[in-house]
Amino acid sequence: MDQPDDMSLKRDESGRLHIESPLMGESLMDKQLLAGTDTAPIYRLMPDLMVVKIGGQSIIDRGRKALLPLLDELVEARKSHRLLITTGGGTRARHAYAIATDLGCRRACWPGWGRASASRMRS
């Protein structure tokens, strides 16, 4: 998929490339920022579902000492909440995407970089 014309790559003083966008460097949870975009209203498809993302470096990599107390809490929470428990690319994937940006790779190749980063940690 080609990059849209309204988003271009911009090199900063350190030489790193960034995707130029009005959202660059902003929190995507900022209600004032979101109000200024032309996005459609957000509808919760499953309003009673709670999504919990467990961090790879912050939790999983620390082993049972960090993970088991968290699992105890999640088991308890399941009694009164519907949960979807996930883990994601996190820090490693963001680092891979930063490298892809610096190399000038098209965004269409980024998912492969993220998958490669995650699969390296499993081996």
Residue 7 banded pLDDT, cuts 50, 70, 90: low
Q: What pLDDT is attached to residue 84? A: 93
Q: Which range, of 14-18, 44-48, 49-53, 115-119, averages the lowest pLDDT?
A: 115-119
Residues 87, 54: Cα–Cα separation, whole Å: 5
Does residue 115 form part of some domain?
no
Residue 123 banded pLDDT, cuts 50, 70, 90: very low
30-71 pLDDT per residue, tens: 778 777 776 677 788 898 999 888 877 777 778 889 889 999
Domain count, the chain: 1
| Domain residue limits at 68 | 46-88
Does residue 78 form part of some domain?
yes
Residue 104 banded pLDDT, cuts 50, 70, 90: confident
**Dihedrals phi, psi of 110, to nearest 5 degrees:** -60, -45
pLDDT at residue 90 greater than cutoff 90: no
pLDDT at residue 111 greater than cutoff 60: yes
Q: What pLDDT is attached to residue 73? A: 94
Does residue 31 form part of some domain?
no
For residue 119, give both structure tokens: 């699969």
Does residue 66 form part of some domain?
yes
Does residue 27 form part of some domain?
no
Residues 77, 83: Cα–Cα separation, whole Å: 8
Helical (H) or strand (E) element with 35:
helix 31-35
Does residue 77 form part of some domain?
yes
Residues 105, 3: Cα–Cα separation, whole Å: 11
Does residue 84 form part of some domain?
yes
Q: In sequence order, what DSSP letters do the residues of 81-107 get, joined into one string? A: SEEEEEE--HHHHHHHHHHHHHTT--G
Mean pLDDT of the chain: 76
